[in-house]
Structure 1
């Protein structure tokens, strides 16, 4: 088995998450310490039809999924790490007709916990975005999250196979 790239690991992990498929989340870029994930604009994620503001649950799902994917993608082996704590600060409402980009970074990996931070940007031209640097766009929210390390031995073998083999598993 060859070593998977960080982006491939992230994409395969994301493909296992039903909620990510429903929301249309995609991995835009990946580096050894960060993941950029896109939430495409769609009417189903609007919380306030009068203002067109995104539903808070959609935004929370985006930051939790992006941060968790960053953790999974950078740890050695295949170690699932459930969310232990997540704090989300809303800076402004997201407008309709704009995709959101979440830039999630692993800040520190400790023996039992992984610390992350994530920033969400509203970007009209996300199709052109392809790096893991901060995108141009309005800052919508900031997040700090921690994930508990349960150990690679606790990760189910069938899940690991789906990541290693992709669609073949």
Structure 2
């Protein structure tokens, strides 16, 4: 186990618990579930995901280029996922803004990898950065995402339990 993994383990759920939780999270979102987004690894506050190739990702079928909206969605999702594991306790944090810098087009036939990390946490905002690539050391886009903290008071009851699969389904609630 690496030093980062040991630190993460001591500070809360470990990387595997987070990978499972964030896999659950992306499978609740209809478009990420339909696109088959996969959580590859988590070492809080960093998350790595993989979007498998599908023909539906094309925006320019003539040149075989991925639609820019797919890249924006992927950056928003990976940065938002990093926010969940980058806080002392997960809370609902909607996207405040997301800036995307495109370096080169994403091309047909290759999965898109995504990695994001939390840069800073304040009382009201979480600052993140993310990168997308299809080939190592050749980023296709970078995103800077800022997320508004709603805090525990505005996070729905049971949110953390649902994230980690600890929801009581009522099966044991016999009176």
TM-score for both structures, normalised by structure 1: 0.84
Q: Check whether the contact 2:161–2:167 (CA below 8 A) recurs between aligned residues.
A: no
Does 1:7 pair with 2:19?
A: yes
Segments of structure 2 that go 5 or more residues without pairing to the other structure are 1-11, 170-175
| Residue equivalent to 1:23 | 35
Q: Number of matched residues? A: 155
Aligned residue for 1:60, secondary structure, equals: helix
- Stretches of 4+ aligned residues off by more than 4 angstroms: 166-169
| Residue equivalent to 2:157 | 157
Equivalent runs, 1:1-169 vs 2, <5 Å: 4=13, 5-123=17-135, 136-165=136-165, 169=169
Aligned residue for 1:119, secondary structure, equals: strand
Task: Select the structure with the greater relative contact order (CA < 8 A; seq sep ≥ 6).
Answer: 1
CA distance in 1, matches of 2:109, 2:46: 26
Give how far 1:157 is off.
Answer: 2.1
Q: Check whether the contact 1:42–1:97 (CA below 8 A) recurs between aligned residues.
A: yes
How well do the aligned residues superpose, as a CA RMSD in angstroms?
Answer: 1.8
Residues 166 and 28 of structure 1, relative CA distance in 2, 3 Å threshold: farther
Tell which structure's C-alpha radius of gyration is larger. 2
Give CA-to-partner distance per residue, 1:119-169, whole Å, 9 cap, x none: 10014xxxxxxxxxxxx2531001111000001221212443321326875
Segments of structure 1 that go 5 or more residues without pairing to the other structure are 124-135
